[in-house]
Amino acid sequence: MESLATLVLLATAAFGAGVLNAIAGGGTFLTFPALVWAGVPPIAANATSALAVCPGYAGSALGFRQELAALPRALLWREMALSAAGGVAGALLLLVTPAKVFSGIVPWLLLFATALFALGPRLSRWAGGGHGEGLVRWRNVGLLAVAVYGGYFNGGLGILLMALYLLCGEQRLNTVNALKNLNSFVLSVVSVIAFAIGGAIVWKHALLMALFATLGGFAGARLAKRLPTPWVRGIVIVTGLVMSALFFARAG
């Protein structure tokens, strides 16, 4: 039997992750460390965290259904296929990574995701300024590479996808968000399926956290209209840095 304190920790982390993802992203900085601190091995914690935040992507994608409907079907199917392939590849890569190796690179992944989150607006402005027009032909390759990363470790995925689309010449921000959410959902679903088949998910934690992450997403959608985004971004960045430092200390 899990202690009540552990269940409260996981539920609170999941709720907070749902709120953060709805406002600015960065929910993985809460769900993954909470699972590790609850005694779940890092690889299983990563897989369980992926399932916990997955439902939020579906809701986000539905919110942009008009933008998606305006895009060519062939484009959507191609990019969903690439996202699915990359998500499966990343998940399988995680499943064959030795636990000790993954534990060693986790602090670096968290730090990379934090840096990506911190630089996200600047990177988006740079890309939106037309600096990536020559990269259009690399869109498919880039999407596949980002999907592999997302299947392996979810942190910073949304920022990578937004940067990719802006670098490849997509100037309509709503369309960028629509594609980001759709492809995040697709690669998350297939990676979660791979994790489930591989027996990496701790189901009793995953279902509890998915429920509270969804509730947090609804709360975050309302809070987003009241709370200044820079404040939330600051909280996410500080959380990421603290979690990175703690995992570096843990690995040392």
> pLDDT tens digit string along 32-47?
999 999 999 999 999 9
Residue 214 and residue 73: Cα distance in Å, rounded? 29
The predicted model scores a pTM of: 0.83
Per-residue pLDDT, 77: 96
Is residue 7's pLDDT more than 60?
yes
Q: Which residue has the higher pLDDT, 176 or 146?
A: 146
> 72 near 213, Cβ under 8 Å?
no
The Cα 69–Cα 164 span in angstroms is: 21
The model's confidence at residue 129, banded by pLDDT at 50, 70 and 90, is low
- Cβ neighbours, 10 Å, residue 187: 34
18, 62, 86, 132, 136 from 27: Cα distances, Å: 6, 19, 21, 28, 30
Lowest mean pLDDT among 6-20, 64-78, 125-139, 200-214: 125-139
Q: Which residue has the tokens 């498919």?
A: 140
Average pLDDT over residues 5-23: 88
Cα distance between residue 77 and residue 72, in whole Å: 9
What does the pLDDT look like over 211-239, one tens digit per residue? 998 888 878 767 766 777 788 778 878 88
Distance CA 104, CA 42 (A): 10
pLDDT at 18: 84
- In Å, how far from its chain's centre is CA 199? 21
